[in-house]
């Protein structure tokens, strides 16, 4: 609508305070009807501030302590599709930059970036927001989940984490934390992309590993059950028979050549 001035909310995420301060003070944000509303100094804080403030634009580093930059980007873009993200980092790796662009970042800028590069990134992000006709308020926080590349990336990493950690008491909460999304969001993504719940996926992975161990006749079934992460033999037996149609002992005796 003509005559309406949109104020785009900007969040800055960088573990170097001097970078945050420089971005906040040196750029003419008002030129693009933008306002820096908050700053974070690590990825997890940044994620919480995105949830709290629902910014339109995020400038972030991807090389910060306790943070997987690509997973962070995927988490953000899968939940807030219209959010414009630009990377400002000292991490010089072409394939990493390619992957970030594939996941939906607008610009991948290397430190130190000049004013022209930064201003061009802001202008492009604002133009993208205008084209999408993004309202100032983001549906009161409702997550939009249509970024297929980001969603697929999250599911892929969640599955890898399950494969690497199936043998201990693994929870949906733990996997969600490692992929930077909420339990609810990860559960929806797994159901959508894998057609199964988290518990069904975990049980399937455990039983597949158990089947391989059953090929070794010297291993007791109780020990195999424990090795693949089941807390008791009875639960293992129920899950094995449900998945394979036979008991673990029958599988060992009749199906393993």
- Is there a single domain that holds both residue 133 and residue 38? yes
What is the percentage of the chain residues whose pLDDT exceeds 70? 91
- Name which residue leads in pLDDT, 131 or 146: 131
Q: Are 10 and 58 in contact (CB under 8 A)?
A: yes
Integer angstrom CA distances of residue 165 from 98, 105, 181, 188, 193? 29, 30, 18, 21, 20
- Is there a single domain that holds both residue 25 and residue 83? yes
Q: Are 97 and 108 in contact (CB under 8 A)?
A: yes
Per-residue confidence at 65, pLDDT binned at 50, 70, 90?
A: confident
The total number of structural domains that make up the chain: 2
Query: Quick check: 137 pLDDT over 50?
Result: no
Range of the domain at 60: 8-141
Bridge partners of 59, per DSSP, are 12, 86
Query: Quick check: 168 pLDDT over 80?
Result: yes
- Is there a single domain that holds both residue 133 and residue 13? yes
- Is there a single domain that holds both residue 39 and residue 106? yes
User: Are β-strands 8-13 and 34-40 bridged in parallel, bridged antiparallel, or unpaired?
Assistant: parallel
Longest dimension (CA), the chain: 79
For 58, the enclosing helix (H) or strand (E) is strand 57-60
- Look at 11-15, 136-140, 171-175, 235-239 and tell me which has the smallest mean pLDDT: 136-140
- Is there a single domain that holds both residue 156 and residue 245? yes
- Is there a single domain that holds both residue 115 and residue 133? yes
pLDDT tens, 90-125? 878 888 888 889 999 999 998 888 899 999 999 999
2: in domain: no
- Look at 37-46, 137-146, 219-228 and tell me which has the smallest mean pLDDT: 137-146
108: in domain: yes
Long-range CB contact pairs, 218-225, < 8 A, 24+: 221/248, 221/249, 221/252, 224/248
- Single residue among 141, 172, 201 that ends a domain in this structure: 141
Per-residue confidence at 146, pLDDT binned at 50, 70, 90?
A: very low
- Is there a single domain that holds both residue 90 and residue 161? no
The predicted pLDDT at position 70 comes to 87
- Is there a single domain that holds both residue 180 and residue 240? yes
For 255, the enclosing helix (H) or strand (E) is none
Give me the mean pLDDT over the 39-44 stretch: 87
Beta carbons within 10 angstroms of residue 35's beta carbon: 14
Helices vs. strands in the chain: H and E counts, helices first: 12, 5
- Is there a single domain that holds both residue 223 and residue 130? no
| pTM for this predicted structure | 0.77
């Amino acid at each position: 609508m003509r005559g309406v001035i949109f104020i785009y909310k900007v969040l800055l995420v960088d573990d170097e305070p001097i970078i945050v301060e420089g971005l906040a003070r040196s750029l003419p944000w008002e030129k693009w009807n933008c306002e820096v509303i908050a700053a974070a100094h690590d990825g997890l804080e940044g994620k919480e501030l995105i949830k709290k403030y629902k910014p339109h634009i995020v400038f972030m580093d991807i090389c910060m302590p306790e943070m997987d930059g690509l997973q962070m980007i995927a988490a953000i873009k899968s939940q807030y599709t219209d959010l414009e993200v630009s990377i400002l980092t000292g991490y010089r790796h072409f394939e990493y930059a390619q992957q970030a662009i594939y996941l939906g970042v607008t610009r991948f800028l290397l430190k130190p970036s000049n004013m022209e590069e930064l201003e061009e990134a802001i202008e492009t992000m604002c133009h993208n927001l205008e084209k999408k006709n993004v309202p100032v308020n983001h549906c009161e926080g409702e997550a939009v989940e249509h970024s297929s590349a980001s969603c697929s990336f999250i599911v892929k990493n969640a599955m890898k984490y399950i494969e690497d950690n199936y043998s201990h008491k693994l929870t949906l909460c733990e996997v969600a934390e490692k992929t930077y999304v909420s339990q609810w969001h990860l559960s929806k993504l797994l159901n959508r992309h894998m057609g199964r719940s988290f518990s069904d996926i975990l049980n399937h992975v455990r039983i597949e590993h158990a089947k391989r161990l059953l090929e070794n006749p010297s291993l007791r079934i109780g020990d195999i059950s424990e090795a693949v992460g089941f807390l008791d033999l009875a639960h293992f037996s129920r899950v094995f028979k449900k998945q394979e149609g036979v008991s673990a002992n029958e599988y060992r005796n009749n199906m393993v050549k």
